[in-house]
Amino acid sequence: MQNHEIFLMFCSNREGGSEKHLQDIRGILANTSDLNLEYLKKEAKDQGLSDYLSDLLKL
């Protein structure tokens, strides 16, 4: 899965995402070997979603 696809998936869940979907995103983040975390952080910041991404990465 490409970084932009992960970010779009992440954005689609920022409000009211089901726990299952959030677990899926966490699993993808944990198991993606070519994950560009800096890209995701930059995009989240640009979209005003830094806190959401931070919370998601903590779990």
| Main-chain dihedrals φ then ψ at residue 24, nearest 5 degrees | -60, -45
pLDDT at 1: 61
pLDDT at 16: 61
pLDDT at 59: 52
d(CA 32, CA 42): 18
CB contact set of 49 (below 8 Å; sequence gap of 6+): 10, 11, 14
pLDDT at 4 exceeding the cut of 80:
no
Domain boundaries, the chain: 3-58
Express each pLDDT in 5-53 by its tens digit: 777 777 766 666 677 777 777 787 788 778 888 988 898 899 888 887 8
Q: How far is CA 19 from the centre of its chain?
A: 14
pLDDT at 32: 79
d(CA 38, CA 48): 15
pLDDT at 51: 83
